[in-house]
Amino acid sequence: MLGIRVSFELCLCPAFRPRSFNNLTRTLGRDLHNLKYCSAMANSSGTLPVKAPITHVIFDMDGLLLDTEKFYTEVQEIILARYNKTFDWSLKAKMMGKKAIEAAKVFVEETGISDSLSAEDFLVEKEEMLRNMFPTSDLMPGASGLIKHLHAKGIPIAVATGSHRRHFELKTQRHGELFSLMHHIVLGDDPEVKQGKPSPDVFLAAARRFQGGPLDPQKILVFEDAPSGVLAAKNAGMNVVMVPDPRLDSSYHGTADQVLSSLLEFNPGYWGLPSFEN
């Protein structure tokens, strides 16, 4: 009986249901998290109530809307190779989502190269490589469709990123039309963002700038890829859908309210948002 009920709930759960049942083959950690989460959400009548009546959505940018995290990884690998060291995802997890100088300090300290390379010099060195890479940024799968859908349905949407203005302009060069659908965009060098993620500053600033803001954070849904970003959104009291890189350790998934392997899997109706029309 328990087995039948659990299977039934798995079929209802949007984290398992969309696209194909290949989703069932995801990592054990993520599956257990989703099973716990979705089982708690399903009620005895077999319908799946929405977690919260979401009215507004905030998107992270790097690694969530734009496939830019790979550029940071590549540059960091190149620099570390000079010191006969390798860059790995445990270090990546501690850096991603943060403001540039905060991530740079983590990089030189965690790798033990701070005596040879300061955080400031690391930023200067990687800048030239990044400046050439960022204009080639591609969208992540599902980003365009989701943004256009929410905008068309009148759901106010915003971006909250750790990226500063100069990098934002380079990364979005080819995506101006899509980003123009945002009600507003809060950047990492905004005066109201005193501290980067996992501080809630950037998400609280984004919530204040919606019409009628500040809003009840429980009515806001955040999309994030980074552990620090998920924590920042939770610290702001908001709901979070995490779309992590598959190489990120699944121990980072537990803080999010829902974990998806791609934006293509997102089911807006689950959160009380207007559903896709096929």
Ligand X SMILES: O=P(O)(O)OC[C@H](O)CO
Residues in contact with ligand X by CB under 6 A are: 60-63, 72, 96-97, 161-163, 226, 229
Q: Which of 31, 62, 190, 201 is catalytic?
A: 62
Residue 271 per-residue DSSP state: G
The pair of three-digit structure tokens given for residue 150, joined into one six-digit string: 């929410």
Q: Which residue's CB is nearer to Mg ion, number 15 or number 230? A: 230
Q: In angstroms, what is the minimal distance from the CB of 105 to ligand X?
A: 14
Of Mg ion, ligand X, none, which one does residue 210 interact with (CB within 5 to 8 Å by kind)?
none
Helix, strand, or coil here: 183?
A: coil
User: What are the φ/ψ torsions at residue 159 (nearest 5 degrees)?
Assistant: -120, 140
Least Å distance, CB 138 to Mg ion, is: 15
Phi-psi region of 46 (alpha: psi -120 to 50; beta: other; left: phi over 0): left
Q: What stretch of H or E contains 224?
A: strand 220-224
Rounded to whole angstroms, how far apart are CA atoms 264 and 175? 19
- One-letter amino acid at 126 equals K
Task: State the binding partner of 161 from Mg ion, ligand X, none, CB within 5 to 8 A by kind.
Answer: ligand X
Closest separation in Å from C-beta 82 to ligand X: 22
Q: Is 60 a catalytic residue?
A: yes
Interface ranges with Mg ion (CB under 5 A): 60, 62-64, 97, 225-226
62 is catalytic: yes
Q: How far apart are CA 23 and CA 148, in angstroms?
A: 25
Minimum CB distance to Mg ion smaller for 114 or for 144: 144
Catalytic residues, which ones? 60, 62
